[in-house]
Structure 1
């Protein structure tokens, strides 16, 4: 039976939606390809190709139509420095002691551990890392180990390589990291945004979310520019492109936490020969898998210490993804989680502490936090919204992600879920015992330094906003009302 290419790709997409895998790609076909990682900062799955009909992302939607789109890629944590440390090494940050956010007293990696960049340089590739918005500027690294840019990378753009040299390049896009940036060409009406049910439907919340979506549109513009440059340089037809975020949404109950919005980010893999174009995968992928899969595509032997899986291989498929949270800025915490296709289990090591432990960066950057504090004090939050504002948290959380995708209804104490709870608890404990090799508690000098830095940031921000040091949550809400709603 004859079948045209469009019908084939449609059928391929249907297969993927049902969890089937593409046939394994022959390594010999890809050895001469360049490889480009395009990395967005704090990107949730809020794109047109993920079903958001408000955001305008034509370049990303086009890239998705030419790629294999992975809907269930999760970063190992929901903050940049440990997530990026895992990405560049192909290892869990807790195994290397890199789990806390922006360690001040950084150590070098063990001699036996090489960043993936070294593997590519050793194979003769030109390795670069640049700002995806403007050529010639160094790209973000933000690793929790001692890393010199000029030692890890040979330049900032693929155009700096010698003639005909293959490249492994990264293009970093700062957006949609806060502060958000409006898009005057494609403004989004705050009254049309669809907030998750754990947020109050308030004008401040809607405006903040609309600005987040508009900032994603700036990501789209940058991606369009990168794709245009590849085409103009005659490289689009021999470059494999990975597009993904370093973590999920920069919002309350997302960034720094282990619910899906904090760790779920889009992943697209575009092959220049059209392989898999338009296919949609629901298989579980961890961002530590990206390094392993990239090496395999280049025909470079995978270092044995890497803990990621080659998700592009027919022989590698995850049953679980593992995520982790530790100190974030000055806020000490420890949370571990394991996610299957259907369930997520979260272990809180500090159940006596609130979810909203004070964190200067979030308190000063997220208008949702002071708003929810005020609304909680005034009894204006519903049951789903009050959970996150409680003064403590349960030691264990279990969610059925199929019936409860917003992770609101904790099933950990429900007798009918005992078997699933025990299964995931045992799975996580086994993983922790094998892979969680960090030092606990952390060196007090690290915590003290983080607290000092946070205090400096707090004082500077309050002075800039003309607010007193003891400003109430109400005063902060008034600040955001003036800033976001004045027009």
Structure 2
């Protein structure tokens, strides 16, 4: 009975979706579809919107471009944290990581920390609705993917049922999370990324103005874009697998980043490069093709929407909002948070609407570029910025990030200043906007019981 109720609930949802759904003509007595949809969420690690369909001409991403043509491309999608473990903790629960005590990067790995009641992973609700839940290990022939979870809590039981949707019962719908890690800075950038065609010439890339126009910076940025091209080829193989298995038409495919790109000033920070991610959703015959959606979307909204698509009423406690259909609740702003990253203790919060972003730095006395073992060994541009700063060779835009302290507040007009270089927090002209953003953030801290208000009991330090 539960499955039947879920089926009719989803059918009703699809029939009355008022935004973005196309229903082809059919006899009045013919059901909208014969079974609940499979749901596949592809998470590419550490990427921002450097895809061809988002306007990056030097990169070639034909598979994701086609997916965007076949579905909906979102231009204002954001993660709730600029690094993987708090972001993924939020995604799997539909909650702000700050609401559930999962805000510090790579925390609670050995202290038995549990999710606060009544919070559960969304896979619990999907499993109760009859879904087989998967953390994919082999995505397609020749594409092995890490079964990454990276949650900052200890679940009561396994979050996923298996590692491949072919392990499910015949006819059983599945929800699958699939991670592609070649876009994550690491050994792949020196091996399979470099071996993949086509190569991107460093002299052809366009660097953000806060990076120095230097051969080291250009080469590193080109490698990042090449990793996206390799990732796109994997997406093509995954979509082909769905087609070969005859399940493409009844599978909702969601593609997004887990957080922003792995570069200095981006990942681990609340600027656009740290939290703005691509989001593309395809569902053949159900979602109207070729849409471009400009609504403000938080990654936890995808989590809530997945439950709705599966016929599950999202629990009332969720921070995420359904973003499709007649039950969609649009956001006036999104919130993101940065707390301890690796051994670097800091705290930042941001409020972003469609035009302005407000950032509050709770520790303005410490620099953005605090000592960090990971960045100092893995980020060529991190050390390049410091070296060029000592030589007095940085522009004013590039020197902002290497300053010895941070402003307490930052306010940017993203319409006129998309790279967030001109801080308007002290501008009399923008006082009203700044005060409004302040009020929004203060209310959010109270209403969500932001756990960043409290001191972390145990600080993680890198192993020597």
When normalised by structure 1's length, the TM-score is 0.85
CA distance in 1, matches of 2:32, 2:347: 44
Checking the alignment, whether the CA contact within 8 Å between 1:399 and 1:409 is kept in structure 2 is yes
Aligned partners of 1:386 and 1:243: how far apart in 2?
35
User: What is residue 9 of structure 2 aligned with on the other side?
Assistant: none
Other-structure match for 2:282: 270
For residue 260 of structure 2, the aligned residue among 235, 248, 253 is 248
2:49 to 45, 59, 63: 45
- Distance in 2, Cα, partners of 1:197 & 1:219: 26
Match of 1:413 among 418, 423, 426: 426
**Contact 2:21 2:288 (8 Å CA) reproduced:** no
The answer for the alignment partner of 1:475 in structure 2 is none
**Cα displacement string for residues 153-180 of structure 1 (whole angstroms, at most 9, x for unaligned residues):** 1111111111111111111111210122
* RMSD between superposed Cα atoms in Å: 1.9
2 CA distance for matches of 1:333 and 1:136?
35
Task: Give the corresponding residue for 1:431.
Answer: 444
- Secondary structure of 1:337's counterpart equals strand
Q: What is the CA-CA distance between 1:380 and the residue it aligns to?
A: 0.1
Asked whether the 8 Å contact 1:66–1:270 carries over to 2, the reply is yes
Q: Give the C-alpha shift of residue 442 in structure 1.
A: 3.1
Distance, in Å, in 1 between the alignment partners of 2:359 and 2:209 is 20
Q: Is the 8 A contact 2:71 2:284 kept in 1?
A: no
- Once the two structures are superposed, residues 236-275 of structure 1 have per-residue CA deviations (whole angstroms, 9 ceiling, x without a partner) of 0111111111011111100000011111111011112152
3-state secondary structure, aligned to 1:182: helix
Q: 1:106 to 1:41 in 2, by over 3 A?
A: farther
Q: Which residue of 1 aligns with 2:152?
A: 144
Structure 1: runs of 5 or more not aligned: 1-20, 457-487
Q: Is 2:332 aligned against 1:325?
A: no
Matched, 1:83 2:87: yes
Equivalent positions of 1:272-291 (< 5 A) are 272-273=284-285, 275-291=287-303
- Contact 2:145 2:180 survives alignment (8 Å): no
For residues 196 and 46 of structure 1, the distance between their equivalents in structure 2, rounded to whole angstroms, comes to 12
User: Is 1:125 paired with 2:131?
Assistant: yes
Change (3 A) 1:140 1:186: same
Tell me, yes or no, if the aligned pair for 1:176 and 1:216 is still in contact at 8 Å: yes
Residue 388 of structure 2: SS of its match in structure 1?
helix
Deviation at 1:441, TM superposition (A): 4.5
Maintained 8 Å contact 2:103/2:452: no
- Contact 2:38 2:251 (8 Å CA) reproduced: yes
Alpha-carbon distance in structure 1 between the residues aligned to 2:364 and 2:51: 35
Q: Does 1:169 align with 2:166?
A: no
User: Alpha-carbon deviations, 1:375-421, whole Å to 9, x = none?
Assistant: 00110001000000000010000000000000000000111111111
1:204-219 to 2 correspondences below 5 Å: 204-219=216-231
Aligned to 2:98, the other structure's residue is in SS state: helix
Where 1:96 maps in the other structure, the secondary structure is coil
- The corresponding residue for 1:461 is none
> Which residue of 2 is the match for residue 92 of structure 1?
96
The number of equivalent residue pairs is 430
The answer to whether the aligner puts 1:232 opposite 2:244 as a matched pair is yes
Unaligned residue ranges in structure 2 (runs of 5+): 1-17, 24-30
User: How far, CA to CA, are the matches of 1:231 and 1:29 in structure 2?
Assistant: 18
| Matched residue SS, 2:175 | strand
Larger helix share, 1 or 2? 1
Whether the 8 Å contact between 1:42 and 1:177 is mirrored in structure 2 is yes
> Distance between the aligned counterparts of 1:174 and 1:137, measured in 2?
7
Shift of 1:33: 1.1
1:130 positional shift: 1.1
Establish whether residue 22 from structure 1 lines up as the match of residue 19 from structure 2: yes
Q: Which runs of 4+ in 1 moved over 4 A?
A: 23-31, 133-138
2:416 and 2:33 map into 1 onto residues whose CA distance is 42
**CA contact under 8 A between 1:55 and 1:188: conserved in structure 2?**
yes
Offset from partner CA, 1:342-380 (integer Å, 9 cap, x none):
000000000011010111111111100110101001100
Q: How far did 1:437 drift? A: 3.2
Task: Indicate conservation of the 8 Å contact 2:194/2:226, yes or no.
Answer: yes
Tell me the alpha carbon deviations over residues 109-147 of structure 1, each in whole angstroms, 9 at most, x when there is no partner.
Answer: 134211000111000111111134667866111000113
The residue correspondences of 1:197-208 to structure 2 (distance < 5 A) are: 197-208=209-220
